Amino acid sequence: MVRHAKAYSIERWAQEGGHDKDRPLIPKGVEKFLDVVSELGSILTPPMHIFSSPSKRTFDTAQLLAKHFELPQPKTTDILLKDSSVKQVEAFLLDALQPRVTTVIVGHENHLARILCHLLKGQASSSFHFKKGGCAMLNIHVTQRKLCGQLQWMITPNFLLKRSKEPHNI
């Protein structure tokens, strides 16, 4: 799970007449996320699939991941928009996930937090917080047509970038 990189503020974008779904990443956000992706590549099994919300900032973040891992364009789905229920996301993932294949979903805070809590605890709360460009790795198991997640790690972008300067294992 990956939260989109830093985008223009919603206030600034609205002042310029833009719609939230069209809000782009800021250049500094792209630069920082490229560094994050480079470090992710050293700890993550290369993904086979990337799914993204269709909003510009999430899709652009997903494209940065796809380019780094030399994958085709990410697939967009409205299910990863902020207003989708966690049950809708779970139904989508039940169809999309494949055994022993790394799949990345790129979305929005606090939607990702609710999805993460649902997969870990069976309830959609916001006990977690994804920083912009933050990532979480889960092992997902299917039991009786329900997904059950086991959190492997959850990392902030700053932790990953600090890790790249001081090499050691997570």
Torsion (CA) 39, 44, 49, 52 in degrees, nearest 10: -50
- Residue indicated by tokens 């309830």: 123
| CA–CA separation, 98 and 168 (whole Å) | 31
CB 137 within 8 A of CB 130: no
Half-sphere exposure of 37 (CA within 13 A, CB side): 25
| CA–CA separation, 144 and 45 (whole Å) | 27
Q: 42-56, pLDDT tens digit by residue?
A: 888 899 999 999 999
Domain extents in the chain: 2-165
| CA–CA separation, 6 and 33 (whole Å) | 8
163 — pLDDT class (breaks 50, 70, 90): confident
What is the structure's pLDDT at 121?
87
3-state SS, residue 58: helix
3-state SS, residue 3: strand
**Which CATH fold topology does 2-165 show?**
Rossmann fold (3.40.50)
Which of 40-44, 73-77, 106-110, 154-158 bottoms out in mean pLDDT, i.e. has the lowest? 40-44
Percent of the chain with pLDDT over 90: 76
Specify the pTM.
0.92
Looking at residue 49, the DSSP 8-state letter turns out to be E
Q: 15-69, pLDDT tens digit by residue?
A: 989 999 999 999 999 999 999 999 998 888 899 999 999 999 999 999 999 999 9
